[in-house]
Amino acid sequence: MEFNIALLKGDGIGPEIVDSAVAVLEKTAVKFGHKFNFTPYLIGGCAIDSTGLPLPQETVDGCLASDSVLLGAVGGPKWDDQPGDKRPEKALLGIRSALGLFTNLRPATLYPALRAASPLKDEIVGDGFDIMIVRELTGGIYFGDRGYREGNYGREAYDTEAYSVTEIERIGRVAFDTAMKRNKRVTSIDKANVLESSRLWRKTMHALAEEYPEVEYSDMFVDNAAMQLVRNPRQFDVIVTSNMFGDILSDEASQITGSIGMLASASLGASSRGMYEPIHGSAPDIAGQNKANPIATILSGAMMLRYSFGLAKEAEAIERAVDKVLNDGWRTADLIGTGSGAPLTCTEMTEKILGAL
Ligand code: IPM
Ligand code: MG
């Protein structure tokens, strides 16, 4: 099969990790007789530098014309003083919205080989955990009304959290359908004891749960969820939550797996076109030093094969190669202390994975 993939390398370590994932995808294509065509487009700080805009129209058009999108990371201190609507991060929100990617799947699994990297005690981790965070991605406070106004204490800034039944239902369905293919448990996370939008969220999820009698459904307040993730992560199967709560909880979930450098994500909408990216950021402190862990981006590539192209055995081949390299004790600097010897560079880790593929 032949697919066109838009590459949004972005800033910081983005180019290094995307190059690694492309090498792995290319080798997978050769091995299984497919053809992947890669076209790079600018996004984030590098796009600001060369066009003045974080998300040039050409990038949006290129992504819309492709079968799928692979993204590195955006942002860095150089662009931190840009006004809100010109920040690199705004491009990420813009492209998610332009492509209609309302679902963000963020799997958090503990690799047995990386157990020592998890900050949780052995008795909490047990024989591991496997959580799928389903984060709503194109609504909520990230996209709500915002601005400045005169308040009781003078000039104030505000942002608004708003969710419609339609938005809650469509992300809820993804969560329940996902749970049906896994351990049939959904935990919906909200702040319904305080927020009106959360009360509608909860009510809508309850109605949806009636349609999935086989799924064991529960609700949890977000503060409790933050605690439960480190107290007993094994209680979770599928977590469904809003844009901002999902942002926060997925970073927490990544850390208990050992390193944020391991976690892949898929952003999906109504069509098969998705956007795949590591959940970590652009790590400006190590950019250009060949130190980054490419695994989250490589695994994002595997998710692309599975979710956008229907190439499950190809995705598994990549995942097995990563497993093997970790089991053999190879580690990048973020994971060191859990394997043997000196840390591998980004390119060395990529070579190991290519070798195992
Ligand atoms: C993420 C990131 C982004 C988000 C930022 C960079 C806008 O933290 O993908 O988790 O908050 O969605
Ligand atoms: Mg985040």
Q: In sequence order, which ranges of the chain are alpha helices (DSSP H)? A: 14-32, 45-51, 57-64, 88-98, 122-125, 165-180, 196-210, 222-231, 243-256, 295-307, 312-327, 346-356
Annotation says 251 is catalytic: yes
Q: Does the pLDDT at position 331 exceed 90?
A: yes
Average pLDDT over residues 22-34: 98
Question: Atom 9 of ligand 1 has which residue's CA nearest to it?
Answer: 279
* Model confidence pLDDT, tens digit, residues 231-275: 999 999 999 999 999 999 999 999 899 888 899 999 999 999 999
Ligand 1 pocket residue status of 141, Cβ below 6 Å: no
pLDDT in tens, 268-309: 999 999 999 999 999 999 999 999 999 999 999 999 999 999
Is residue 247 annotated as part of the catalytic site, yes or no? Answer: yes
Q: How many whole angstroms from its chain centre is CA 135?
A: 9
**What number is the average pLDDT over the span 70-87?**
93
- Per-residue pLDDT band for 40 (boundaries 50, 70, 90) equals very high
Atom of ligand 1 nearest to the CA of 73: 6
CA distance 197 to 160: 10
Q: Checking phi first, is residue 329 left (phi over 0); if not, alpha (psi -120 to 50) or beta?
A: left
Give the pLDDT confidence of 173-232 residue by residue, as tens digits.
999 999 999 999 999 999 999 999 999 999 999 999 999 999 999 999 999 999 999 999
| Domains in the chain: ranges and CATH | 1-103+267-357 (3.40.718.10), 119-256 (3.40.718.10)
Considering 142, 212, 217, 307, which one is annotated as catalytic? 142
- Answer yes or no: is the C-beta of 92 below 6 A from any ligand 1 atom: yes
Q: Is the pLDDT of residue 337 over 70?
A: no
Q: What is the pLDDT of residue 76?
A: 96
**pLDDT at res. 294:** 98
Q: How confident is the model at residue 2 (pLDDT cuts 50, 70, 90)?
A: very high
Q: What are phi and psi of 213, to 5 degrees?
A: -60, -25
pLDDT of 166 above 90: yes
115 band by pLDDT with thresholds 50, 70 and 90? confident
* Smallest CA separation from ligand 1 atom 8, residue: 247
Q: Has residue 339 got a pLDDT over 80?
A: no
Average pLDDT of span 23-50? 98
With the C-alpha atoms ordered 30, 32, 33, 39, is the resulting torsion angle positive or negative? negative
Ligand 1 near 279 CB (within 6 A):
yes
Average pLDDT over the chain reads 96
Ligand 2 centre distance from Cα of residue 218 (Å): 24
Instruction: Work out the average pLDDT over 9-26.
Output: 98
Identify which of 175, 198, 205 has the alpha carbon closest to the alpha carbon of residue 268: 175
Q: Is pLDDT of 341 > 80? A: no
User: Looking at this protein, which amino acid is placed at residue 224?
Assistant: N
Burial 202-218 (b: 16+ CB within 10 A, else e): bebbeebbeebeebebe
pLDDT the model gives residue 127: 87
In the set 78, 184, 251, 323, the catalytic residue is 251
On the question of pLDDT at 153 being above 70, the answer is: yes
- pTM (two decimals): 0.94
- Decide if 334 is catalytic: no
Q: Is the dihedral of CA 338, 339, 342, 348 positive or negative?
A: negative
Token pair 């209609």: residue: 100
